[in-house]
């Protein structure tokens, strides 16, 4: 996106990454009179927004509680979110011209299209004369220069009282995101131009490791480490789980309600209820996404993980026996296979009968106590060994990142003055339901407040 602003190399704030956190911060800073350079590797701002919420963009959630935000420092994460809560996010989005709808607390654009959210941000950025947007432009290097004399930057136009703390190298990045290193030999490499910029504050909002094809390759972590920051171990979160159980190929595509417990060596890790989706590699769906954070950590620590699935959430053994007898017709004469087929999707019913190791043609009334044990286990605690998970390329977010205790309450580095962090790069990941975008909006605003305080004391 070309900007009419005169070309120059000093800005009050330079923001690397035009995701929701970076764009939010840019707008907040510019509205207070700061000059902003917003650079993104992609050819358009807010690229990843397009795929959020299955293309519908679950922007936030009116139900907010500490458990929705996960971190090595969960109290700090929650304290930061509360400074710009869901109500503020909704007000901010409405001011951008985005009409919202609330579905049982889940907030979406009324249009039902994530693209309209991205475009509203793009228009808002365009309207701010203080913002210059550079797309296809990647932050490749940075250094703190605050000790160097100010006269070295002759085109600094903002005023003598504005500090110069960083020198950055931005590079035109024509490499399609996700294709780095995959270019065919015969494809000519476009010449990349590098340019030096200076700024008073630098905001790193380059996202995490989830969604490489949207430009996120973890660049921000490199700069964080180079400026003295510790990183909390980074792993995929909100992703699907794999199993080597061969039957999953037969029921791939089946969806059913379930309560799922994840256990490692007999100890309960977490429990979730929701729609379960069977795939040809394992299990997916919101409940699985929510569990994945706990499961992945255990797998990475070389622990064995099993999930137990209750296909009739809320029911126990007496409830199940009562149900099967009722559906078994007069005197329980219907056979097990037919009764299961009246409850579950047919492919799943076949798998469940097989798991019970009972004769599917046996009448309910003829089942022995041992049969009932196996039936209850199959339906109420179906065991499935988890062998792996889908990685960052499929995950919705990154667990871990820049340690919160290294940042002030306005997300400024405690190691390098004038350096701020926001969004997925920081050690905060939300549960499914709009909480990751809420964190992006909260942290973008918070960092902007810090930058404004720093630049306009
Ligand atoms: C498939 C999918 C569905 C999702 N659905 C939802 C949902 O419905 N609700 C929800 O709350 N969350 C959802 N999320 C998560 C949400 O998209 C992210 O949490 C959020 O986008 C993170 O915002 P961010 O500002 O930190 O960074 P990002 O949105 O990741 O943006 C970072 C930007 O930085 C740019 N960048 C990277 N490195 C550089 C560099 N060196 N120089 C310049 N630019 C750089 C990238 O090109 C990118 O545009 C989903 C994620 C995925 C992958």
Instruction: Report the separation in Å between the CA atom of 333 and the middle of ligand 1, taken as the mean of its atom positions.
Output: 56
Of 355, 372, 390, the residue that ends a domain is 390
64: domain CATH number is 3.50.50.60
Q: Domain check: are 181 and 251 in the same one?
A: no
Domain-located, residue 4: no
Q: Residues enclosing ligand 1, CB less than 6 A?
A: 16-22, 39-42, 47-48, 51-53, 57-58, 138-139, 205-207, 210-211, 214-216, 219, 396-397, 423-424, 434-437, 440
Domain-located, residue 28: yes
Torsion of CA 360, 365, 368, 370, to 10 degrees: 60
- Output the 3-class SS for 249-267: HHHCCCEEEEEEEEEECCE
Q: Domain check: are 366 and 332 in the same one?
A: yes
Say whether pLDDT at 153 is over 80.
no
Could you tell me the two tokens for 365? 């009334």
Q: Domain check: are 385 and 258 in the same one?
A: yes
Computed over every residue of the chain, the mean pLDDT equals: 92
Instruction: Report the separation in Å between the CA atom of 300 and the middle of ligand 1, taken as the mean of its atom positions.
Output: 24
Dist CA 400 CA 208 (whole Å): 9
Domain-located, residue 343: yes
Position 48 scores a pLDDT of 97
Report helix angle 20-31 to 114-127, nearest 10: 30
Domain-located, residue 3: no
Q: Domain check: are 200 and 244 in the same one?
A: no
Dist CA 382 CA 367 (whole Å): 19
Query: In this structure, which residue's CA is closest to atom 20 in ligand 1?
Result: 437
Only one residue has tokens 């210059």, namely 132
Dist CA 427 CA 388 (whole Å): 23
Could you tell me the two tokens for 200? 């008073």
- Rounded to an integer, the average pLDDT of 433-453 is 98
Dist CA 286 CA 236 (whole Å): 15
Q: Domain check: are 192 and 286 in the same one?
A: no
Domain-located, residue 395: no
- Rounded to an integer, the average pLDDT of 85-110 is 98
Domain-located, residue 99: yes
Could you tell me the two tokens for 237? 């979160």
For 118-133, what is each residue's pLDDT tens digit?
999 999 999 999 999 9
Q: Domain check: are 179 and 129 in the same one?
A: yes
For 252-263, what is each residue's pLDDT tens digit?
999 999 999 999
Of 390, 413, 446, the residue that ends a domain is 390
Could you tell me the two tokens for 397? 């977010």
Domain-located, residue 405: yes
Query: In this structure, which residue's CA is closest to atom 38 in ligand 1?
Result: 206
Number of domains within the chain:
2
Q: Domain check: are 111 and 211 in the same one?
A: yes
- Rounded to an integer, the average pLDDT of 326-334 is 79
pLDDT class of 188 with cuts at 50, 70, 90:
low
For residue 320, the enclosing domain spans 240-390
Domain-located, residue 209: yes
Of 390, 410, 426, the residue that ends a domain is 390
Cβ distance 78 to 69 under 8 Å? Answer: yes
Q: Domain check: are 131 and 170 in the same one?
A: yes
Nearest in space to 420 (alpha carbons), one of 24, 9, 2, 90: 24
Could you tell me the two tokens for 174? 């024509």
Query: In this structure, which residue's CA is closest to atom 29 in ligand 1?
Result: 19
Q: Domain check: are 386 and 256 in the same one?
A: yes
Q: Domain check: are 22 and 114 in the same one?
A: yes
Q: Are strands 131-134 and 305-310 parallel, antiparallel or unpaired?
A: unpaired
Report the share of the chain in percent with pLDDT over 90.
Answer: 82
Position 3 scores a pLDDT of 42
Could you tell me the two tokens for 54? 């299955």
Query: In this structure, which residue's CA is closest to atom 46 in ligand 1?
Result: 215
Residue 28: partners with Cβ closer than 8 Å, 6 or more residues away = 444, 445, 448, 449, 452
Using the Cα atoms of residue 281, residue 178, residue 17 and residue 164 in order, give the sign of their dihedral.
positive
Q: Is 0.85 topped by the overall pTM?
A: yes
Instruction: Report the separation in Å between the CA atom of 49 and the middle of ligand 1, taken as the mean of its atom positions.
Output: 7
Could you tell me the two tokens for 256? 């059913």
Q: Domain check: are 378 and 406 in the same one?
A: no
- Rounded to an integer, the average pLDDT of 26-48 is 97
Instruction: Report the separation in Å between the CA atom of 396 and the middle of ligand 1, taken as the mean of its atom positions.
Output: 9
Considering only 105-109, 236-240, 311-315, 330-334, which range has the smallest mean pLDDT? 330-334
pLDDT class of 173 with cuts at 50, 70, 90:
confident
Q: Domain check: are 32 and 121 in the same one?
A: yes
- Nearest atom in ligand 1 to 436's CA: 11
């Amino acid at each position: 996106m070309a900007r009419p602003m005169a070309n120059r190399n000093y800005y009050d704030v330079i923001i690397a990454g035009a995701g929701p956190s970076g764009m939010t911060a840019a707008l907040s800073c510019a509205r207070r009179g700061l000059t902003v350079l917003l650079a993104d590797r992609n050819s358009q701002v807010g690229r990843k927004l397009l795929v959020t919420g299955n293309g519908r963009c679950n922007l936030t959630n009116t139900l907010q509680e500490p458990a929705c935000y996960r971190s090595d420092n969960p109290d700090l994460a929650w304290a930061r979110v509360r400074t710009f809560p869901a109500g503020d996010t909704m007000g901010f989005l409405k001011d951008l011209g985005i009409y919202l709808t609330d579905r049982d607390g889940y907030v979406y654009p009324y249009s039902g299209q994530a693209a309209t959210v991205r475009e509203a941000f793009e228009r808002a950025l365009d309207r701010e004369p203080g913002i210059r947007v550079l797309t296809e432009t990647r932050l490749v290097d940075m250094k703190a220069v605050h000790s160097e004399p100010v006269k070295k930057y002759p085109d600094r136009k903002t005023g003598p009282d504005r500090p110069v703390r960083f020198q950055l190298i931005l590079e035109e990045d024509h490499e399609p995101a996700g294709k780095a290193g995959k270019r065919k030999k015969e494809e000519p490499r476009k010449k990349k131009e590098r340019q030096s910029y200076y700024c008073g504050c630098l905001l790193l909002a380059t996202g995490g490791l989830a969604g490489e094809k949207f430009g996120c390759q973890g660049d921000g972590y490199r700069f964080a480490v180079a400026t003295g920051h510790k990183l909390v171990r980074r792993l995929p979160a909100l992703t699907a789980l794999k199993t080597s159980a061969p039957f999953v190929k037969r029921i791939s595509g089946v969806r059913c309600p379930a309560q799922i417990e994840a256990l490692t060596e007999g100890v309960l890790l977490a429990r979730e209820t929701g729609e379960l989706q069977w795939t040809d590699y394992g299990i997916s769906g919101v409940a699985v996404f929510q569990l994945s954070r706990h499961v992945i950590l255990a797998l990475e620590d070389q622990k064995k993980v099993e999930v137990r699935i209750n296909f009739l959430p809320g029911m126990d053994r007496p409830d199940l026996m009562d149900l099967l007898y009722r559906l078994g017709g007069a005197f329980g004469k219907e056979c097990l296979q037919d009764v299961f087929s009246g409850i579950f999707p047919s492919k799943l019913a076949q798998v469940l009968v097989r798991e019970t190791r009972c004769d599917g043609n046996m009448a309910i009334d003829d089942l022995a106590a041992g049969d009932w044990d196996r039936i209850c286990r199959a339906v109420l605690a179906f065991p499935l060994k988890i062998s792996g998970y889908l990685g960052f390329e499929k995950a919705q977010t990154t667990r871990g990142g820049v340690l919160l205790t290294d940042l002030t309450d306005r997300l400024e580095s405690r190691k390098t003055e004038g350096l701020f962090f926001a969004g997925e790069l920081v050690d905060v990941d939300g549960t499914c339901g709009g909480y990751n975008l809420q964190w992006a909006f909260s942290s973008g605003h918070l960092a902007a407040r810090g930058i404004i305080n720093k630049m306009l004391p």
